[in-house]
Amino acid sequence: MTTPNEFTIPESFIRRYSSSESNRSKYRSAFMRDRDRIMYCTAFRRLAGKTQIYTIGPDDHKKNRLTHSLEVAQIARTISRALGLDEDLTEAIALGHDLGHTPFGHAGEEVLNSIMAPNSEFIGGSPFYNTNRDVLKDTLEREETTLQGIISCENMFGFKHNIQSVRVAAVLEDSYRGEQGENIGINLTNYALWGMMHHSSLFYHNEKEPRPNYQNQFKKHLSINNSDAEAWSFEAFVVEWADDFAQWHHDLEDAIRSKALPMTTICKTIKDSLSGAFSGDDEELLDNLIKNAAADRKSIAELSHIVVNTLVKDLVENSLLKLDEIRVRLGELLPEATAEERAKLLYSDYNSLQMSFPPKQVISVSSSIEPSVFKNMIKSSVHHSKDVERMNSKGGYIIKKLFEAYYSHPQQLPDGPILHFMVDINSASNRHFDKYNSIESAKAIGMGEVRTDFDEVIKNPKTLFSCLLMRRICDHVASMTDRYAIEEYNNLYG
């Protein structure tokens, strides 16, 4: 265990549900258990079958979500160690940050968001299809009053992979049970869940109007001791940057291997965006790569080293300066306090420090780095390449057709989503289907009877029930690997 300092997470971490794990494994911290729970869950294993930019194909060396998550964890741990932060919390957030990602990359994510939003153009007959948000909201509010509603209508809409990562860990994984037998996911700490949700924006930047998302249902999972204070951490911001670093360098690798961009163009772009932060050796190595213009494995590995090493070095050096400012300020405010007492003030009331920068800007690169140069090159030359555009179009089409098939004939769904849906509606009405008070009791009934009851519900469902069904279909489709989604599409339509 590391020696506590001003940046050590105080004992304000909580699990949404009580746990006896600390009594079983005293040599492991709460954040070490978070990391291990993520590594052993089924959603983590499925990341091996989910793509980054390029879909599954004959090249086994293209990056997938699992290799990406491992790279993010490696980069983030290096940064956290250099900054004196908690490496185990950092690794847990990094390994779990993409648990909720869809098949077919961000194209799949955006399609699911479009399906799950009011005024949707997709899934005819669904409660969201061409339905005004205010009209839908009024309908849901009336039904929730009648049915003892389980969820605010504001939480019915939208899809975002980082929010879904929290939903996977807190709701969908099937490893732990609460005191009433309810499924509680893998029961991670509030700090791990907060970092997973906030590694990416909660909303899409290109939306014409704000769309309420479903993150509000997790507020209690992300707070400190059931207060309004959020369980933010510097470790979460480290992972956010490490995610970008990993994304940039392996997108470049894939671009080189797919011949979307020549090696010399990539090298020159890197030099333009990172020149202010290079070490002498790395700049010399990059100049040699430009001269040789080789795109072999050795050159690609050297290029990745240059990019990651430069970015990490700059981030660490810039962040250390700001952390030192915070340390000095804490010493001024609490000169006689212990490191633990200073950390408690830091995380519970950061504003009282009156720093010139918010917490998120503490962990950041310097002005010598120009991230937009990377992003513009990838977007213009790689994301719009023929192979990527074809994958995006095909993937989006498959997801829409899968959703359409499941919603028009829900009995095609596997047992899992149906069992969870029946528990959902029992929680909503608590009358006719009160025998479905937990997943365990639902399983004990037998799937023949469960599907008969399910059929009765979906014949003429209330709007609230239709929305709950939509969410469970969304969960199922989002969980698929690329290959499974293609196979399921062929089974349904082939």
Could you report the per-residue pLDDT of 386-402, keeping only the tens digit for each?
667 788 889 999 999 99
What's residue 288's pLDDT? 81
What distance in Å separates the CA atoms of residue 408 and residue 199, rounded to the nearest whole number?
35
Q: For residues 112 and 400, what is the distance between their CA atoms, to the nearest angstrom? A: 8
pLDDT in tens, 320-376: 999 999 999 999 999 999 999 999 999 989 999 999 999 999 999 998 887 777 677
pLDDT at 226: 66
The pLDDT assigned to 160 comes to: 92
**pLDDT given at position 149:** 47
pLDDT digits (tens, 9 = 90+) for 419-457: 999 988 887 665 556 788 888 888 899 999 999 999 999
* Max mean pLDDT range (174-183, 287-296, 404-413): 404-413
Q: What is the pLDDT of residues 19-58, one digit of tens each?
A: 655 555 677 888 999 999 999 999 999 999 998 765 555 5
| Beta bridge mates, 64 | 51
88 pLDDT more than 50: yes
Most confident of 199-208, 302-311, 409-418: 409-418
Per-residue pLDDT, averaged over 463-472, amounts to: 92
Per-residue pLDDT at 205: 72
Sign of the dihedral through C-alpha 23, 26, 28, 30: positive
Tell me how many degrees the CA angle 310-316-321 measures, rounded to the nearest 5: 130
Q: Is 90 exceeded by the pLDDT of residue 62?
A: no
Q: What is the pLDDT of residue 65?
A: 93
Confidence grade of residue 265 (pLDDT, cut at 50, 70, 90): confident
Mean pLDDT across the chain: 85
Task: Quote the pLDDT of residue 384.
Answer: 59
100-130 confidence digits (pLDDT tens): 999 998 889 999 999 998 889 999 999 999 9
- Phi/psi for 189 (5° steps) reads -70, 160
**pLDDT band at 378; cut points 50, 70, 90:** low
- pLDDT at position 53 is 62
- 151 pLDDT band (50/70/90 cuts)? low
pLDDT for res 12: 67
pTM: 0.92
The more confidently predicted of residues 55 and 255 is 255
Residue 192: pLDDT over 80: yes
Place of tokens 């290109």: 206
Distance, in Å, from the CA atom of 170 to the CA atom of 184, rounded to the nearest integer, reads 6
Q: Given this model, what pLDDT does residue 72 score?
A: 97
Beta bridge mates, 233: none
pLDDT digit string, tens, across residues 198-230: 999 888 876 655 555 677 778 888 888 767 789
Element (H, E) at 283: helix 280-292
Rg of the chain in Å (alpha carbons): 24
Higher pLDDT, 441 or 155: 441
The average pLDDT across 229-246 equals 94
Taking phi first (over 0 means left), then psi (-120 to 50 degrees means alpha), and beta for anything else, what does residue 186 get? alpha
Query: What pLDDT score was predicted for residue 60?
Result: 58
CA 456, distance to chain mean position in Å, is 35
Cα–Cα distance for residue pair 31/189, rounded to 1 Å: 7
184 has pLDDT over 60: yes
